[in-house]
Amino acid sequence: MNLFKIAFYDTVEAIFLINSDWAMWENVHGNPYQKKRANSALAKELTPLELDSEGACGVFAGSDGKSYITTLFECQCVDFYIRNGSGPCKHMYRLAMELSLYPSDGIHVDQKAALVKFQRGELQVFIKTEPLAVAIGFYRLLDSVFKSSKGVSLDTLTVDFPVNTCYLFDCADPTMIKRDKVYSKDVKSLTELLIHRIGKLCLDNLDKNLLSVLLNL
């Protein structure tokens, strides 16, 4: 058998295995909850961060600063885990769409949106877990960038975070970071998260009698 025939049969076998992996779910797609997951898979934020068409796997952004490795028969996301693998999650549906194994009418493709989702999750973890002084420093950075029309010089930054590669900012100029109005809501959600953390800290440590006095002023 020549090399061309070997390659041909290897390709056919790979396609058969990929289709078999997805065919295992054919009886669950009609479930209303599965239809909802399939519809969610059309969103631009579900664009794969990485896609291996031959291996039928991909990497997707999570909302918690993590990325999920996804195949046609399993995913690392919480939704797939808590349901004990009883049906595809939205990441698996998106992977199947990317591989032309599931209808993809209305699909939105925007890898930057997926990267923003991933990085927003990273920043949320950063704000929740870093020392409060560091988190406040990052808040001040966000505030200064979004209040300035000219941007902020990288030389003036004291925050230990690679902001020059942050997709929430306009970093076209390698010496500056500027606001990107498209993602102003994402930045606002980060500042609100920090305010919530500070508020909780105050409530947890403020003398109850003093708090009562303050609330009745």
pLDDT of residue 43: 97
Q: Which helix (H) or strand (E) holds 152?
A: strand 152-153
pLDDT in tens, the chain (217 residues): 443 333 333 444 444 455 668 999 999 999 999 999 999 999 999 999 999 998 999 999 987 888 999 999 999 999 999 999 999 999 999 999 999 999 999 999 999 899 989 988 888 888 888 888 888 887 787 777 777 777 777 676 666 556 556 777 777 777 777 777 787 788 888 888 888 888 887 777 766 666 566 556 5
Q: Which helix (H) or strand (E) holds 34?
A: helix 32-40
pLDDT of residue 13: 44
C-alpha pair distances (Å), 132 with each of 49, 140, 145, 148, 186? 31, 12, 20, 24, 20
Both tokens of residue 19?
A: 């289709």
Both tokens of residue 211?
A: 């708090």
pLDDT of residue 10: 42
Classify residue 179 by burial, with Cβ atoms within 10 Å: 0-12, 13-18, 19+: buried
* Residue in the block written with tokens 């105050």: 202
**Length of the chain (residues):** 217
pLDDT of residue 103: 95
Both tokens of residue 95?
A: 């992977």
| Threshold 0.85, pTM exceeds | no
pLDDT of residue 137: 80
pLDDT of residue 26: 92
Q: What gap in Å lies between CA 87 and CA 53, rounded to an integer?
A: 21
pLDDT of residue 165: 66
Classify residue 79 by burial, with Cβ atoms within 10 Å: 0-12, 13-18, 19+: middle
HEC profile for 47-104? CCCEEECCCCEEEEECCCCCEEEEECCCECCHHHHHCCCCCCCHHHHHHHHHCCCCCC
